[in-house]
Amino acid sequence: MRTLINIVLVCVSSNFSSVFAKDIDTTKVPIQDVYRLTSQERTKELRKMKDIPLKPLWDLTGHLDTPYAIALFAGRGEKEAQLISYYSEYPDEFKEFSATGQFITHNFKWRKLIYTKLHTLHGGKHKAVNKRRNAIRNAIKESLNNPNEIWKTGILIHALGDSYAHTKGKYNSPDERAFNKYTGHGIESIFLTDPDEIFKKENEEKYIAFITDLFNLLKTKNKDQAGFNSFVNDFRSANCNSNECILNKTTLNFVHGKALNSQKTLNATLTPLTKAQVVEALNMIKD
């Protein structure tokens, strides 16, 4: 089973092997310290980190790297942040749970659940978009009451991220509505505007709303509010037209290397989630 899953994983993320082939040393600067540096100091540190690939897997940024960084800012421990990040990315790593993996299938009931709940492609208008975001927030709060089921939190965070990434129209305006799989926008949402494009200017407000939402849901008494604000400001002031530019102007390099390493380790040690477990998490979204 593990071998099969590893094969699927390699197929889904073809860049994995080339990234892992390099010896990524992310231990030089602890991630939380990086955010406390001034921007000049950070640039200096970034230049020292030559062994981290400058062009990592951007498709992992929204669901893997971001939840990891935000969980740390929120005051969660390193291990908890790793698990949240791992399970948030999880649906995109396995065919039975990914939107692209279920695009062609005979199991329409399963596809409907995966599309409308897990990847938030429900096709609703502004009111429905807000209602769903609220329902997912409530589900995440409930899941956080049980630290032994952190995988539920991660799966629900995937759905929360998609509730921002999978809409068209201006954020929180009457024009904002969710994509669905039956229209051209559905295709667009899966292949073109997924969270890997989160840093396009037109998606900036949605991305910042997502991380603010996530920070508020995950925050503890140990939260680093100043670090989080600085992270948000980096994005606002970057004024970029490409992901590469964002990468050079923010500290996402550090986040990516660490999150990717922990994903690799957890993938080799954790028992894969069953379909029933994923359904259990999705059933917590009540709208």
List contacts with Zn ion (CB under 5 A).
119, 162
Closer to Zn ion by CB, 119 or 133: give it.
119
Is 128 exposed, middle or buried (CB count within 10 Å of its CB: 0-12, 13-18, 19+)? middle
Give min distance, CB of 222 to Zn ion, in A. Answer: 29
Give min distance, CB of 63 to Zn ion, in A. Answer: 7
Closer to Zn ion by CB, 42 or 158: give it.
158
3-state secondary structure the chain: CHHHHHHHHHHHCCCHHHHHHCCCCCCCCCHHHHCCCCHHHHHHHHHHCCCCCCCCCHHHHHHHHHHHHHHHHCCCCHHHHHHHHHHHHHHHCCCCCCCCCCCCCCCHHHHHHHHHHHCCCECCCHHHHHHHHHHHHHHHHHHHCCHHHHHHHHHHHHHHHHHHHCEECCCCCCCCEECECCCHHHHHHHHCCCHHHCCCHHHHHHHHHHHHHHHHHHCCCCCCHHHHHHHHHHHHHHCCCCHHHHHHHCCHHHHHHHHHHHHHHHHHHCCCCCHHHHHHHHCCCCC
Closer to Zn ion by CB, 42 or 119: give it.
119
Give min distance, CB of 161 to Zn ion, in A. Answer: 7
Give min distance, CB of 162 to Zn ion, in A. Answer: 4
Give min distance, CB of 191 to Zn ion, in A. Answer: 12
Give min distance, CB of 40 to Zn ion, in A. Answer: 37
Closer to Zn ion by CB, 119 or 137: give it.
119
Give residue number: closest CB to Zn ion. 119
Closer to Zn ion by CB, 37 or 103: give it.
103
Closer to Zn ion by CB, 93 or 162: give it.
162
Give min distance, CB of 91 to Zn ion, in A. Answer: 6
Closer to Zn ion by CB, 119 or 181: give it.
119
